[in-house]
Amino acid sequence: MVKKINVGLIGYKFMGKAHSHAFKDMSMFFDASAQPVMKAICGRNEEAVKDAAERWGWESYETSWQRIIERDDIDLVDICTGNDSHRDIAIAAAQAGKDILLEKPMAPTLAEAREMLDAVEKAGVKHMINFNYRRCPAIQLAKRLIGEGFVGKIYHVRAVYLQSWIMDPDFPLVWRLKKESAGSGALGDIGAHIIDLARFLVGEFSEVNGFLTTFIKERPILIETTGDLSAKGSQEKGEVTVDDAALFLARFANGAVGTFEATRFANGRKNHEKIEINGSKGSIVFNFERMNELEVFSSEDPDYAQGFKTILVTEEVHPYIKAWWPPGHIIGYEHTFVNQVYELMEALANDRMPEPNFVDGVRCQEVLDAVERSSDTGTWIKI
Amino acid sequence: MVKKINVGLIGYKFMGKAHSHAFKDMSMFFDASAQPVMKAICGRNEEAVKDAAERWGWESYETSWQRIIERDDIDLVDICTGNDSHRDIAIAAAQAGKDILLEKPMAPTLAEAREMLDAVEKAGVKHMINFNYRRCPAIQLAKRLIGEGFVGKIYHVRAVYLQSWIMDPDFPLVWRLKKESAGSGALGDIGAHIIDLARFLVGEFSEVNGFLTTFIKERPILIETTGDLSAKGSQEKGEVTVDDAALFLARFANGAVGTFEATRFANGRKNHEKIEINGSKGSIVFNFERMNELEVFSSEDPDYAQGFKTILVTEEVHPYIKAWWPPGHIIGYEHTFVNQVYELMEALANDRMPEPNFVDGVRCQEVLDAVERSSDTGTWIKI
Amino acid sequence: MVKKINVGLIGYKFMGKAHSHAFKDMSMFFDASAQPVMKAICGRNEEAVKDAAERWGWESYETSWQRIIERDDIDLVDICTGNDSHRDIAIAAAQAGKDILLEKPMAPTLAEAREMLDAVEKAGVKHMINFNYRRCPAIQLAKRLIGEGFVGKIYHVRAVYLQSWIMDPDFPLVWRLKKESAGSGALGDIGAHIIDLARFLVGEFSEVNGFLTTFIKERPILIETTGDLSAKGSQEKGEVTVDDAALFLARFANGAVGTFEATRFANGRKNHEKIEINGSKGSIVFNFERMNELEVFSSEDPDYAQGFKTILVTEEVHPYIKAWWPPGHIIGYEHTFVNQVYELMEALANDRMPEPNFVDGVRCQEVLDAVERSSDTGTWIKI
Amino acid sequence: MVKKINVGLIGYKFMGKAHSHAFKDMSMFFDASAQPVMKAICGRNEEAVKDAAERWGWESYETSWQRIIERDDIDLVDICTGNDSHRDIAIAAAQAGKDILLEKPMAPTLAEAREMLDAVEKAGVKHMINFNYRRCPAIQLAKRLIGEGFVGKIYHVRAVYLQSWIMDPDFPLVWRLKKESAGSGALGDIGAHIIDLARFLVGEFSEVNGFLTTFIKERPILIETTGDLSAKGSQEKGEVTVDDAALFLARFANGAVGTFEATRFANGRKNHEKIEINGSKGSIVFNFERMNELEVFSSEDPDYAQGFKTILVTEEVHPYIKAWWPPGHIIGYEHTFVNQVYELMEALANDRMPEPNFVDGVRCQEVLDAVERSSDTGTWIKI
């Protein structure tokens, strides 16, 4: 008998949509041990959240997040709000004994993230943080290959997350560009993803040295957001208080070294999250813009036949693919969320702690924090 | 007020799943003028179809296709069965005044396809054939560019559809490998797609010259299918009665010339549907395995800065993308079905004939038929 | 003691330059068993040929090809003239007991090619035809891999040679566009190369079915050529008497099937000579525009790690590379000529018949001839 | 009347061969205003240098570099020796009034580099440093595009030079792995190239922050070198005294920021010198392993047709290409040296200072020096 997990989702923008879709579609494709039930979605604008509930298939809606937490018929609270409310909601949910799925980055500050981890550990609830890129089949394949010794001892990692959606100086001051709401800019928003991937694939960071920079220091005051990443601004300008780009060097506990770069000013790069790992026996390259592919090199191939091989990660034997389509029929961005929900349901059904969870969230936040401090001091900061 | 369209789907295998998903997800992403209601799904195996109905969200199920057609609460019949039953179901549906969505290829023979077209025209119902690759945003962009004169006068088209899933001689005699059920092999299954794309982007064929070939002439008798493209066979063998590969040359009404190849014996190619068009002003290249990308060349760029440009077709300004995700967040195979259902709903809501429809199906079938005849005679066959 | 081979080169245009360079550079890089001595170059325009002799390092020059053949101090006659003079020069050279290096295609007609083969066989001289693309390290590696069974039984070959240098309708009627001087157009000029590569890698053709087409039927009369592939034309127009494009299907003696296309009307493609071979165990892809790379696929790799591998063919263990540069330091077009001269010198020094030779030239010409006849009849022609 | 420049080349290994070839071939392809005459080559091993002289076409040879400088018939001294002798030879050559071509990196230390610059400026001779990658046609095209405003204000540069030839721990202690002979490891050998490219394309560095690392700290003592990048070692081990990898962050005078990485431990990367530049209007990407290509992005293209365009930099209108082959006939590594010699001859014939010259060499050395110091201090170092 498949267990039912009643879900209450807080937030109905970009991430709310992606999570809603994942809850809706998961059971259609996966034979999971538990099944999410879309109980309630929550947002402050009643008209908008009601519309979202209908369109996305939620049974009910609420206009205050506290109501979600109070409701007895909710097992799992999914937090897709702005970073600045993550702590309050997560702690309240934990105290109410709810399991939690949380969008990254964990919180605007390391201190808040630690408070949140304390709360869930104290409450003994299950917790997951949605570093969804771990759920690309190609990343799972990379993890498997590295685990099997395919790359050998890791020497190098170079990771970039390149976007360009705010390069226009007239793009307005949305919440992602203000420290009070976003915590940081490119660093926390997209840098967090490559830090998590590096932790997942390479291991723990030991120290970092880097800097944050803001190319456009003033922007039009926001009038309204018009899409996931689009907005209208006024004539008046306000200060950008987060980084446009973050660059840092890293040393890892296992001796590997790396370069990391997160920027919203790489013209032509849309969602170019690329990581390359070089080890004593081989190398691995992943680029999200071609997320169905993994490039691998093995120096154990015959000397006359070595090269980077592009694996189209769409075979039945590849992670998650059996649930999807035949070979060569590629999947997309949203599937990472569906795969994540599947993992979450498996964990909840089997009383296991899901991964990645708040421990990973805090570790990632420690690196973000160290990068910010190293940007202030111009020196290496130990994690 | 959004119109409701009650759907009855016949078939619950690979295509049944893809269509079910499309009906389920469309309204979540698109503001369409009509909304599909998932009334009933139909299949001969009661247990299996009941399970599909529950998992995929259909309100009811039937075990005979005639029941779907008899039901008053069904507006649209969606036919996802094997080719050999397309004619009977489609004609019955038309006579019952149902609108029709039909999986490609239209029918095992041109004669049957023409009967079907007659029936829908006589009945005055709406009809659509699911050449879903037309609904890749990149293909729509190609269509737009060609329409705007970007490639100029077309000289060349070269199209291949390369797969490899039956290369193992022990892969058994599934229905796709038998003429009585499938009509033809690679030709009708995947060749039909590149013929349709060429018609959509280049124009009508005027004559063809080609041949069919079967590399593995005997295969194990089928015991059971185990997945979309996987199966178990017995010790005993039977004759393969369809083509493993089809190759042909073509001339088009507008003077363009082309090479076409559909094969299931291209080792390493999974779903490699690639089309290149060269014209007097530019060129266009599409490959389904990287379906979010379109390569374009313009000889009107400055002479020192010409080259093939890879457009990542994931911008809000690109076809269908506004309904999906931000730039660089790619979509996958199944989205072509969702986009198709959106187009179908728009057409039904506005009393327009959808495209592509049975006319396109017949035209495609004429080319398939001509290729088969040219394979027999070794000469050019006019369409 | 290294043998000296005295060379007389006839022709001083594009190919004359490429051959001169090859003779000049070969001994600098290779430890060959024989060394070419650049005795004389020949051309009808005294001023031009004198200039070429000085610039390219020839000891002397002649203005009539008969003089080259008469000279006792010439061992090897290298024929880089227009196709229409190949037969007369080659036969005269053979009768004079000279060894011969001949630019492809062999002759304007099959009959002439056969006469030439008769002449060299009767005279007992060494003969080589310069299908230089065989001398790409990547092609030699492909040959090795195929020989070792890497691709298994070959099912498919698809080869294109795409250029675009005459797409402008105002490009004038150079010798390459007139049947009397060139024999054929794209077919003989570039189609010959892919036919030779297919013969080298796949085996002998058994029958073909194709057609030639001329998109621009009239062009300005030539005033003067201004570069290898550039020229000035007059106001007056004349008829183009060769093909702009040639497309054909092929069956091979070993059961493989193929598509072939040679065109000068593929906008954006500059020297895009691409061949893909699919067999029961693997596949191989080569594209001259990235001539230092070979893509290979093996279905014998672990099922979760299959994919096309890009070998950068620049390792010491790769063919010819030890003579050139360290890994990753790529070579270019002209190196194929240098490698060819090395092979020629090895053959002459060791009294072996070089390869490819006039037998290969005739075989290639048989295919060219069959394609032309099939274009006339619209049917399959056996080779 | 073309001027003759008498050349004396010191060194006959990898670089000696590349330079010899460039002097030999330049006049065959270019109409230069001056022509190099290959007067003498110099090396300590008489047999080897004599052999090199014969094979590469030098008129004479010497076994002491002082002899080259003493000879009245030498105009230009070309220094291709190990870094540790650059200073002495260059200063002596300058004092003797010879013009100088010098292989990079300039010297083991910044102090020596400055002495050398002083010497040539005092002597008033011409001087050039062989940052040959500037002479890739694609890099020259990038320079032109940047100069014309194609990328706008530059925000980002990310440059890597990745090799893998010493990853085997048994690879012996060649001169490039010892500080006394090489000055530094990956930093000076290949890092110098990307520093120079960044200076050429982006502008002057203002500060850097990075570190050097040595993964394999002991290696077999060298017995003999067997190729450009291959060697035999003994059982005994010695200390590696240079870096295996150098990683650094950079700020530029114009406000751009960058990441730089030079390593010999990137498995699978052979000569992967890649630089990406992102600016307010566009981006540019170059990778030496595909040196005939330049990728460019312009945000001024129509919004529905933006993307990275791969320019095959082989058109007559592209830098240097008119001297070489028709479109699509690619050139290779060695051509950068030939193009460089052409530029040198043009400068000498027209009494202009060539570029890049010792000023560029010193600037590059300043950055190398700052990276080393920042590695020691763990802080930012101003240039």
Looking at residue A98, its pLDDT comes to: 98
Picking from C4, C174, C329, C339 by the largest number of D CB atoms within 10 A of its own CB, the best residue to mutate is C329
Chain C touched by D230 (CB under 8 Å): yes
Instruction: List the one residue out of D289, D252, D247, D276 whose CA is nearest residue D264.
Output: D247
Which residues in chain D are closer than 8 Å to A171, comparing Cβ atoms?
none
Nearest Cβ partner for A165 among B57, B272, B327: B327
Which residues in chain A are closer than 8 Å to D160, comparing Cβ atoms?
158
pLDDT tier at C225 (50, 70, 90 boundaries)?
A: confident
Looking at chain B, which residues constitute the CATH 3.40.50.720 domain(s)?
Answer: 3-133
DSSP letter, residue B322 = G
Looking at residue A302, its pLDDT comes to: 97
Roughly what angle, to the nearest 10 degrees, separates helices D137-147 and D192-201?
30
Is the separation of the CB atoms in B127 and B89 below 8 Å?
A: no
Looking at residue B289, its pLDDT comes to: 96
Chain B touched by A314 (CB under 8 Å): yes
Contacts of B148 (CB under 8 A, 6+ apart): none
Looking at residue D229, its pLDDT comes to: 75
Other beta carbons within 10 angstroms of residue D240's beta carbon come to 19
Which residues in chain B are closer than 8 Å to C257, comparing Cβ atoms?
211, 213, 245, 247
Instruction: Give the tens place of pLDDT for each residue, D13-58.
Output: 999 999 999 999 999 999 999 999 999 999 999 999 999 999 999 9
Percent of chain B whose predicted confidence (pLDDT) is above 70: 100
pLDDT tier at C317 (50, 70, 90 boundaries)?
A: very high
pLDDT at D228 over 80: no
Rounded to a whole number of angstroms, the distance between the first and last alpha carbons of chain D is 45
Chain D touched by B64 (CB under 8 Å): no
Looking at residue D225, its pLDDT comes to: 85
Is the separation of the CB atoms in C139 and C185 below 8 Å?
A: no
Cβ distance of B312 and D311 shorter than 8 Å: no
Instruction: Give the tens place of pLDDT for each residue, C4-19.
Output: 999 999 999 999 999 9
Looking at chain C, which residues constitute the CATH 3.30.360.10 domain(s)?
Answer: 137-290+292-330+363-382
Question: Which residue of chain C is at minimal alpha-carbon distance from B377?
Answer: C379
> How buried is D56 (Cβ within 10 angstroms: 0-12 exposed, 13-18 middle, 19+ buried)?
buried
Which residues in chain D are closer than 8 Å to B151, comparing Cβ atoms?
none
Q: CATH number of the domain at C137-290+292-330+363-382, out of 3.40.50.920, 2.40.110.10, 3.30.1330.200, 3.30.360.10?
A: 3.30.360.10
Looking at residue A229, its pLDDT comes to: 75
Specify the range with the lowest mean pLDDT, choosing from A293-302, B83-92, C177-186: C177-186
φ, ψ for residue A352 (rounded to 5)?
-105, 150
Looking at residue C78, its pLDDT comes to: 98
Residue B301 CA: distances (Å) to CA of A35, B268, B297, C38, D309: 54, 35, 9, 44, 11
Looking at residue C316, its pLDDT comes to: 94
pLDDT tier at D246 (50, 70, 90 boundaries)?
A: very high
Cβ distance of D28 and C290 shorter than 8 Å: no
Which two tokens mark B98? 């149902």
Instruction: List the one residue out of B369, B358, B377 whose CA is nearest residue B100.
Output: B358
- Beta strand extents in B280-357 (DSSP E only): 282-287, 293-298, 308-312
pLDDT tier at B230 (50, 70, 90 boundaries)?
A: confident
Distance (Å, rounded) from C-alpha C366 to C-alpha C377? 16
Q: Which fold has domain A137-290+292-331+362-382?
A: Dihydrodipicolinate Reductase; domain 2 (3.30.360)
Distance (Å, rounded) from C-alpha B255 to C-alpha B202? 10
Question: Which residue of chain B is at minimal alpha-carbon distance from D309?
Answer: B309
Looking at residue C231, its pLDDT comes to: 87
Looking at residue D323, its pLDDT comes to: 95
Return the ∠ at Cα C363 (arms to C358 and C366), rounded to 5°. 125
DSSP one-letter string for B83-111: GGGHHHHHHHHHHTT-EEEEPSS--SSHH
Cβ distance of D304 and B296 shorter than 8 Å: no
Which residues in chain D are closer than 8 Å to B312, comparing Cβ atoms?
307
Which residues in chain C are closer than 8 Å to A317, comparing Cβ atoms?
303-304
Nearest Cβ partner for D333 among C57, C290, C329: C329
Which two tokens mark B247? 């190759």
Average pLDDT, chain D: 96
pLDDT tier at B23 (50, 70, 90 boundaries)?
A: very high
pLDDT tier at D203 (50, 70, 90 boundaries)?
A: very high
Residue range D195-214: mean pLDDT, rounded = 98
Which residues in chain D are closer than 8 Å to B308, comparing Cβ atoms?
309-310
List, in sequence order, every residue forming a beta bridge with A225; answer none if it has no partner.
A231
Residue range B354-380: mean pLDDT, rounded = 98
Distance (Å, rounded) from C-alpha C86 to C-alpha A27? 72
Looking at residue B357, its pLDDT comes to: 98
Instruction: Give the tens place of pLDDT for each residue, D58-102.
Output: 999 999 999 999 999 999 999 999 989 999 999 999 999 999 999
B contact chains, 3+ CB pairs < 8 A: A, C, D
Average pLDDT, chain B: 96
Chain D touched by B1 (CB under 8 Å): no
ipTM of the complex: 0.96
Assigned CATH for B138-290+292-331+362-382: 3.30.360.10
- Beta strand extents in D21-117 (DSSP E only): 34-42, 60-62, 76-79, 99-102
Distance (Å, rounded) from C-alpha A266 to C-alpha B225? 48
Cβ distance of B267 and C278 shorter than 8 Å: yes
pLDDT at B63 over 90: yes
Which residues in chain C are closer than 8 Å to D288, comparing Cβ atoms?
328
Residue range D314-338: mean pLDDT, rounded = 95
> How buried is D227 (Cβ within 10 angstroms: 0-12 exposed, 13-18 middle, 19+ buried)?
exposed
How many beta-carbon contacts under 8 Å exist across A and C? 49
Looking at residue A226, its pLDDT comes to: 82
Verify cis geometry, omega within 30 degrees of 0, for the bond prior to A356.
Answer: yes
Instruction: Give the tens place of pLDDT for each residue, A66-122.
Output: 999 999 999 999 999 998 999 999 999 999 999 999 999 899 999 999 999 999 999
Looking at chain C from residue 271 to 290, which residues have their Cβ under 8 Å from any Cβ of chain D? 271-272, 288-290
What residues of chain A score a pLDDT lower than 70? none
Instruction: Give the tens place of pLDDT for each residue, B255-273.
Output: 999 999 999 999 999 999 9
Distance (Å, rounded) from C-alpha C89 to C-alpha C98? 11
Looking at residue C258, its pLDDT comes to: 98
pLDDT at D227 over 90: no
Looking at residue A134, its pLDDT comes to: 98
Cβ distance of B14 and A333 shorter than 8 Å: no
pLDDT tier at C182 (50, 70, 90 boundaries)?
A: confident
Looking at residue C181, its pLDDT comes to: 86
Instruction: List the one residue out of B246, B320, B311, B257 whose CA is nearest residue B285.
Output: B311
Question: Which residue of chain B is at minimal alpha-carbon distance from A228?
Answer: B326
Verify cis geometry, omega within 30 degrees of 0, for the bond prior to A105.
Answer: yes
Question: Which residue of chain D is at minimal alpha-carbon distance from B328?
Answer: D307
pLDDT at D314 over 80: yes
Residue range C147-162: mean pLDDT, rounded = 98
List, in sequence order, every residue forming a beta bridge with C227; answer none if it has no partner.
C230
Assigned CATH for C3-133: 3.40.50.720
pTM of the model: 0.97
Helices H / strands E in chain B, number of each: 11, 17
Q: Which fold has domain D137-290+292-331+363-382?
A: Dihydrodipicolinate Reductase; domain 2 (3.30.360)
pLDDT at B68 over 80: yes
Question: Which residue of chain A is at minimal alpha-carbon distance from C318?
Answer: A304
